[in-house]
């Protein structure tokens, strides 16, 4: 069951998305909550920062990780004004965020020309068949770093 506090956090993400249109760029906002408190906010900064990865969710994750002093955001929830794109969804999984709440859908975003459906299509193709072809190069040399990591006894797992 959704609580009034959860609605408040979603409204904060929505307000960030609206303010961002006037201040910095795209209509996207996100907040990260832990233990009943907002620990970070993020808004889309792609055009403001000339950074294609500066989506609201990624910006909020970066801020939360810095504030909490950890790359593991287990115990956190993210409230985002729109269903996360493939990059943001991946970042949310990498950050170990427990739950996602979103306002607009990917179809709502597509209707205003934020269409990520081509990325989902690309992901289903073999690397060499994608519109940006990918080809393995020097795998026999690259594996040495992976072997070194595998054998490292004092590594910090993530």
Which residues are tagged catalytic? 57
Q: Is 35 exposed, middle or buried (0-12, 13-18, 19+ CB in 10 A)?
A: exposed
Q: Going by C-beta distance under 8 Å and a sequence separation of 6 or more, which residues neighbour residue 96?
A: 72, 73, 74
138-149 burial, b for 16+ CB within 10 Å, e for fewer?
Answer: eeeeeeeeeeee
């Amino acid at each position: 069951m959704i609580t009034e506090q959860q609605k408040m956090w979603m409204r904060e993400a929505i307000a960030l998305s609206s303010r961002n249109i006037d201040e910095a760029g795209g209509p996207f906002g996100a907040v990260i909550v832990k233990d009943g408190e907002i620990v970070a906010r993020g808004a889309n900064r792609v055009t403001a920062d000339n950074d294609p990865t500066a989506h609201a969710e990624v910006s909020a994750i970066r801020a939360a990780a810095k504030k909490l002093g950890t790359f593991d955001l287990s115990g956190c929830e993210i409230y985002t004004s729109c269903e996360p794109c493939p990059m943001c969804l991946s970042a949310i999984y990498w950050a170990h965020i427990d739950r996602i709440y979103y306002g607009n859908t990917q179809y709502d975003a597509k209707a205003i020309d934020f269409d990520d459906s081509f990325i989902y299509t690309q992901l289903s193709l073999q690397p060499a068949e994608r519109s940006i072809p990918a080809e393995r190069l020097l795998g026999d040399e690259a594996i040495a770093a992976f072997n070194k990591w595998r054998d490292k006894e004092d590594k910090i797992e993530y």
